[in-house]
Amino acid sequence: MQRRCARLDHLEVETESSETDSETESVRMRCISCKEEYGSRDAGTCNVCYEEASETEEELKREIEDLKAKVAFLSVWSPAFFSGRPHGSGFTDVVLVAVEDGPDGGPSMPVSAHRNILANRSPVFKAMLENEMEESRSGTIKISDVSYDALQAFVNYLYSAEASLDEQMACELLVLAEKYQVKHLKAYCEKFLVSKLNWDNSIINYAFAHQHNAKLLLEAALSLILDNMDKLRKRQEYSEFVEKHPLLVVEIYEACLAKQENTAAPKDTSAKS
């Protein structure tokens, strides 16, 4: 009799447990974000919204880092510079000139600036203006191989850490940033150019990035080249690239071989096992 009662009790417990599980599965929650239903066993939100929230969090972290870098770039000021001296064009003490961008192929209109700002933003300008060099004595800095518009945008960036970019302007500013060691501007231009990359312009951007030591752009362009090698080989631009940059072609083929080896390695391992 006692065994029979114990068995009945066990059956009742199992029945209650199964009923609880079925009730749990039938309970549906509604996501606060998208209003779609999801199972109560999920982590408080539907999977789609959870993934989107994670991506948004990563984007916000990147934006915060960018803002921190911008603040750090702009916060390098000399207190002595502003003691009783307002910021304005009337107080500039140096000019920059695009040597070959004038109307007759001569110097362009001068772009006014402050020595203190140039020296704080660029170690190259700092060396020019703090030592007894021609630029320091004359108050004129001549810059070759640059357009007037790019030079003006370059100087504006040194004051504001902002620039209105298209692909041509980004390339010109990156060249200036590399030449005068303005790292914040170089990174700014690289990010813009990476955002404009596609397989069609990957070859020319790869050569440009290699020439100006733009690592981020170089890696992104190389990745696109490797993924679209068959299409690129058929283009006239690729033939011209091979003639002009044979060493870069070798680097691309080496990267291509390395990628094939890495792809084949797991297959060889599984075959042996």
pLDDT over 70, % of the chain = 68
- Of 182, 217, 240, which residue constitutes the final position of a domain? 182
Q: What is the pLDDT of residues 95-125, one digit of tens each?
A: 999 987 666 666 778 999 999 899 999 999 9
Q: Does residue 176 sit within a domain?
A: yes
Report residue 13's pLDDT band, with 50, 70 and 90 as the boundaries. very low
27 confidence band (pLDDT: 50, 70, 90): low
Among candidate residues 159, 147, 87, the one with its CA nearest the CA of residue 118: 159
Q: Which of 192, 186, 162, 182 is nearest to 174 (CA)?
A: 186
Domain termination residue (choose one: 131, 154, 182): 182
Q: Are residues 153 and 202 in the same domain?
A: no
Cβ distance 137 to 194 under 8 Å?
no
Cα separation, 89 vs 119, whole angstroms? 17
Confidence of residue 84 (pLDDT cuts 50, 70, 90): very low
Instruction: List the single range of 81-85, 112-116, 131-135, 140-144 with lowest mean pLDDT.
Output: 81-85
65 pLDDT more than 60: yes
**Average of pLDDT values for 57-73?**
77
Residue 113 is assigned to a structural domain of this protein: yes
End-of-domain residue from the set 157, 182, 207: 182
pTM passes above 0.75: no
CA angle 183, 189, 195 (to 5 degrees): 135
Domain membership flag for residue 60 = no
| Total tally of structural domains belonging to the chain | 2
Per-residue pLDDT band for 50 (boundaries 50, 70, 90) equals low
Q: Which two tokens stand for residue 123?
A: 């170690």
Other CB atoms within a 10 A radius of the CB of residue 72 amount to 11
Q: What is the pLDDT of residue 194?
A: 97
53 part of a folded domain: no
The answer to whether residue 7 is domain-embedded is no
Residue 34 belongs to some domain of the structure: no
43, part of any domain: no
Secondary structure of 17-63 in HEC code, one letter for each residue = HHHHHHHHHHCEEECCCCCCEEECCCCCCCHHHHHHHHHHHHHHHHH
Cα 78–chain centre separation: 29
Please check whether residues 99 and 177 belong to one and the same domain.
yes
Residue 212 in domain? yes
185-189 mean pLDDT: 96
What residue type is assigned to position 57 of the chain? E
Please report, for the domain that includes residue 119, its CATH number: 3.30.710.10
> Is 176 in the same domain as 204?
no
- Domain span holding position 212: 197-273
Q: How confident is the model at residue 64 (pLDDT cuts 50, 70, 90)?
A: confident
The secondary structure of 133-186 as a DSSP string is: -HHHHHSEEEE-S--HHHHHHHHHHHHHS-----HHHHHHHHHHHHHTT-HHHH
